[in-house]
C-alpha cells in the first residue's frame, strides 16, 4: 500500500509533464490524469481503516545529513483533504474546458503541479517536507494568476505573493527552531509532538505558525489579499485558491499547531477565536455592499472560514469534526459558485449584479443548479453545508455562548446576501444584456450536476465522512488535552 500513496502524490507530476508536452491536447491529458488520481483516491479510501492510526506510510531517508526524511502517511483527518483535492481537481480542469487559454499546455500543467504540492502538504509527516509542499503549491497558482488573470493581476498578485511568502518565512523560522530543540535532530512530526517546550517557547512558535496559516485561510486581519485576488484570478485559479488551497491553512492548524504547542493554543487560542468571529461579522457586512458577484462570494468565503477556525480553536470533538466536514463542503460549494459566475461572465462579460437579472427565464437548468449550490452554501438542512456548520456552532457554543451567538451570524447574514444575490441575478425581468443568455451545456452540465449531487448526497448522508475522521479527531483532542493536563 506504500506505492498507492506515492502514486497519489507523484502521478500529477507525471501528468503535468505530459500536459506540458501535449500542446492543444493538454486539457484532455490533464483531465485524464486527474481522473486516474481520483480513482486512486477512491481505492485508498476503500482500503482505509477508520481508526486513529496513520496508514499507507512511507518513511525513507532523503537528506540524511539534516535528518530530513520523505515521510508521508494518511489518517482520518488527512484523508478528507486528500479526497477533497482529488474530487475537485478534475471538476476544476473540466470547468476550464469552456475557455481558450493562451499556452494551454503550461496552464493545465501548472494545475497538476499544484495538485501534487497540495497532496504533499496533506500527507507530509516531516516538517521540512511539509514546508516544501507548502511552497510548491504556491508557485503554480502564482503563475496561473499572474499570466492568465484580469487587468489588475500584476499588482493584486504581487500582494498575494508577498503576504504568503512572509507567512511562510515565519513558519520556516518556527520549523527550524523546533528542529534545533529536537535531540534527534530531525523534522519528524512525532518528535515535534514529543518536545517539552516551556510556555514562552510555545507562545512565539504559536504565532510563527498561526500567522502563516491565518494568511492562507485567510483570517481577519490577514485577509486583505483575498477579495481582489479571487476577483482578478482566472476562474480556474479562483476555484483552486478557494476550493483547495485555503484548506492548507485549516489543515496546518489541526495537524501542526494544536499538537505541537498546546500551551500556546491555551494562551492565545481565545484571541484566535475572537479574530475569527470578527472576520465572520466584518466579511458578512462587507458582502452586503458588494456590487460584483465574484467579490461577494470571496467575502462570503472569509466568513465561512472564520467559523471553521473558531470551531477548531474551541478544542472539542464537535468543533473539530465540524471543521473537517465543513472543509469538504465549503470546497465543493465555493467551486460550484465560482463556476456559475464564470459561466455568466464568459457569456455576458460582466459579474456586476446590477447589470444582470432574469437569467432563470433563459437558462432554467443553470438557475436550478445555482439554487441548489446557494442553498448548500447557506447551510439549509438536507444540504452538505448544514451538518458542518451545525457541528461548528455546537462546538463554539460549548466553548462560549456569546461567541457562538456572534459566530452564528455567518448563517443568518449569509442567507440574506446569498439569496439576495441569487434573486437579483436569476430572477426578475430579463434586460438587453441577459435576453440572449443561453443555458448550460456539455462540460458545464457535468461539473454543475456533479457538484449538486455532492451537495445533496453529503447533506442527506454525511455518515461516511464523519466515520472516516471521527477516531483521528478524538485522538487529536485527547492528545492536546492530555498535554495540557500534565502541564497544569
Residues 82 and 35 in one domain: yes
Number of domains present in the structure of the chain: 2
| 187 band by pLDDT with thresholds 50, 70 and 90 | very high
| 1 band by pLDDT with thresholds 50, 70 and 90 | low
- Domain boundary at 260, 294, 329, which? 260
Q: What pLDDT, on a 0 to 100 scale, did the predictor assign at position 229? A: 84
Residues 424 and 296 in one domain: yes
Residue 64 neighbours by CB distance under 10 Å: 9
pLDDT over 90 at 154, yes or no: no
Q: Do the Cβ atoms of 264 and 203 come closer than 8 Å?
A: yes
- Domain boundary at 210, 236, 260, which? 260
Residues 44 and 160 in one domain: yes
Phi then psi dihedrals of residue 292, to 5 deg: -100, 125
Which residues are 71's β-sheet partners? 59
3-state secondary structure of 437: coil
The per-residue pLDDT for range 320-337, each reduced to its tens digit, is 999 999 999 999 999 999
Cα distances (Å, whole numbers) of residue 261 to 143, 170, 191, 199, 422:
34, 15, 13, 9, 43
pLDDT over 90 at 93, yes or no: yes
Residues 255 and 337 in one domain: no
- Domain boundary at 260, 279, 300, which? 260
pLDDT over 80 at 355, yes or no: yes
Q: What pLDDT, on a 0 to 100 scale, did the predictor assign at position 445? A: 93
Which residues are 124's β-sheet partners? 72
Residues contacting residue 169 through CB under 8 Å, at least 6 positions apart: none
Q: What pLDDT, on a 0 to 100 scale, did the predictor assign at position 13? A: 94
Residues contacting residue 432 through CB under 8 Å, at least 6 positions apart: none
Residues 283 and 232 in one domain: no
3-state secondary structure of 58: strand
Residues 75 and 203 in one domain: yes
pLDDT over 60 at 300, yes or no: yes
* Overall average pLDDT of the 388-403 stretch: 92
pLDDT over 80 at 150, yes or no: no
DSSP of 445-482, one letter per residue? HHHHHHHHHHHHHHHH--HHHHHHHHHHHHHHHHHHHH
Share of the chain above pLDDT 70, in %: 99
Question: 463 exposed, middle or buried (CB, 10 Å; 0-12, 13-18, 19+)?
Answer: exposed
Residues 302 and 195 in one domain: no
* Overall average pLDDT of the 88-110 stretch: 91
**b/e map of 267-297 (b: 16 or more CB within 10 Å)?**
ebbeebbbbbbebbbbbbebbeebebbbbbb
d(CA 388, CA 367): 25
Q: Which of 218, 236, 190 is nearest to 305 (CA)?
A: 218
The per-residue pLDDT for range 119-139, each reduced to its tens digit, is 999 999 999 999 999 999 988
Residues 243 and 288 in one domain: no
Give the residue carrying C-alpha cell 509532538.
193
| 434 band by pLDDT with thresholds 50, 70 and 90 | confident
The per-residue pLDDT for range 223-268, each reduced to its tens digit, is 888 888 888 888 999 999 999 999 999 999 999 999 999 999 888 9
pLDDT over 90 at 484, yes or no: no
d(CA 219, CA 307): 10
Q: Do the Cβ atoms of 451 and 373 come closer than 8 Å?
A: yes
Average pLDDT, the chain: 90
Residues 140 and 270 in one domain: no
Residue 47 neighbours by CB distance under 10 Å: 11
pLDDT over 80 at 2, yes or no: no
d(CA 168, CA 175): 10
Residues 318 and 192 in one domain: no
Q: Give the orientation angle of helix 384-399 with respect to helix 443-460, to 10 degrees.
A: 50
Q: Strands of 336-447 (E only): list them.
A: none
d(CA 94, CA 101): 13
| 221 band by pLDDT with thresholds 50, 70 and 90 | confident
Cα distances (Å, whole numbers) of residue 120 to 22, 31, 169, 170:
25, 20, 19, 20
Pick the more confident residue, 291 or 153: 291
Residues 231 and 298 in one domain: no
d(CA 214, CA 220): 8
pLDDT over 70 at 424, yes or no: yes
* Overall average pLDDT of the 447-451 stretch: 95
Q: What pLDDT, on a 0 to 100 scale, did the predictor assign at position 430? A: 85
Helix (H) or strand (E) holding 296: helix 293-313
pTM: 0.92
Range of the domain at 25: 1-260
* Overall average pLDDT of the 355-364 stretch: 89
Pick the more confident residue, 151 or 219: 219
| 487 band by pLDDT with thresholds 50, 70 and 90 | low
Share of the chain above pLDDT 90, in %: 60
d(CA 143, CA 106): 10
Residues 322 and 413 in one domain: yes
* Overall average pLDDT of the 139-144 stretch: 89
Q: How far is CA 260 from the centre of its chain?
A: 22
Helix (H) or strand (E) holding 59: strand 55-63
| 488 band by pLDDT with thresholds 50, 70 and 90 | low
Amino acid at each position: 500500500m506504500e506505492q498507492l500513496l506515492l502514486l497519489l502524490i507523484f502521478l500529477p507530476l507525471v501528468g503535468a509533464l505530459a500536459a506540458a508536452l501535449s500542446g492543444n491536447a493538454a486539457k484532455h491529458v490533464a483531465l485524464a490524469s486527474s481522473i486516474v488520481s481520483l480513482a486512486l483516491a477512491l481505492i485508498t479510501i476503500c482500503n482505509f481503516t477508520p481508526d486513529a492510526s496513520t496508514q499507507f506510510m512511507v518513511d525513507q531517508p532523503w537528506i540524511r545529513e539534516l535528518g530530513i526524511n520523505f515521510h508521508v502517511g494518511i489518517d482520518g483527518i488527512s484523508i478528507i483533504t486528500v479526497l477533497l483535492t482529488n474530487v475537485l481537481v478534475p471538476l476544476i480542469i473540466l470547468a476550464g474546458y469552456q475557455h481558450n487559454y493562451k499556452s494551454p499546455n503550461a496552464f493545465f500543467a501548472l494545475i497538476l503541479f499544484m495538485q501534487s504540492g497540495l497532496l504533499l502538504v496533506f500527507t507530509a509527516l516531516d516538517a521540512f517536507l511539509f514546508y516544501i509542499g507548502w511552497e510548491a503549491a504556491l508557485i503554480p497558482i502564482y503563475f496561473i494568476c499572474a499570466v492568465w488573470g484580469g487587468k489588475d493581476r500584476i499588482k493584486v498578485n504581487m500582494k498575494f505573493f508577498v503576504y504568503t511568502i512572509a507567512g511562510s518565512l515565519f513558519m520556516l523560522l518556527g520549523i527550524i527552531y523546533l528542529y534545533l530543540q529536537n535531540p534527534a535532530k530531525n523534522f519528524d512530526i512525532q518528535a515535534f509532538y514529543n518536545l517539552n517546550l516551556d510556555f514562552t517557547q510555545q507562545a512565539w512558535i504559536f504565532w510563527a505558525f498561526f500567522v502563516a496559516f491565518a494568511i492562507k485561510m485567510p483570517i481577519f486581519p490577514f485577509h486583505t489579499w483575498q477579495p481582489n485576488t479571487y476577483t482578478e484570478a482566472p476562474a480556474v485559479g479562483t476555484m483552486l485558491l478557494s476550493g483547495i488551497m485555503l484548506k492548507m491553512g485549516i489543515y496546518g492548524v489541526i495537524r501542526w499547531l494544536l499538537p505541537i504547542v498546546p500551551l500556546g493554543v491555551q494562551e492565545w487560542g481565545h484571541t484566535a477565536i475572537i479574530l475569527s468571529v470578527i472576520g465572520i461579522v466584518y466579511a458578512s457586512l462587507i458582502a452586503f455592499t458588494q456590487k460584483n458577484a465574484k467579490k461577494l462570494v470571496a467575502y462570503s468565503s472569509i466568513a465561512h472560514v472564520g467559523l471553521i477556525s473558531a470551531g477548531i480553536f474551541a478544542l472539542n470533538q464537535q468543533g473539530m469534526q465540524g471543521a473537517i466536514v465543513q472543509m469538504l463542503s465549503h470546497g465543493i460549494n465555493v467551486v460550484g459558485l465560482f463556476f456559475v459566475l464564470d459561466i455568466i461572465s464568459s457569456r455576458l462579460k460582466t459579474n456586476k449584479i446590477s447589470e444582470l437579472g432574469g437569467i432563470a427565464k433563459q437558462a432554467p437548468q443553470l438557475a436550478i443548479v445555482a439554487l441548489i449550490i446557494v442553498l448548500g452554501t447557506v447551510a439549509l438542512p438536507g444540504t452538505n453545508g448544514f451538518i458542518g456548520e451545525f457541528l461548528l456552532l455546537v462546538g463554539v457554543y460549548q466553548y462560549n455562548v456569546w461567541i457562538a451567538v456572534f459566530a452564528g451570524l455567518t448563517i443568518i447574514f449569509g442567507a440574506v446576501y446569498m439569496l439576495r444575490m441569487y434573486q437579483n441575478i436569476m430572477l426578475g425581468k430579463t434586460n438587453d444584456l441577459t435576453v440572449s443568455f443561453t443555458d448550460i451545456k456539455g462540460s458545464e452540465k457535468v461539473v454543475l450536476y456533479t457538484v449538486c449531487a455532492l451537495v445533496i448526497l453529503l447533506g442527506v448522508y454525511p455518515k461516511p465522512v464523519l466515520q472516516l475522521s471521527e477516531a483521528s479527531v478524538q485522538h487529536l483532542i485527547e492528545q492536546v488535552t492530555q498535554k495540557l493536563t500534565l502541564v497544569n
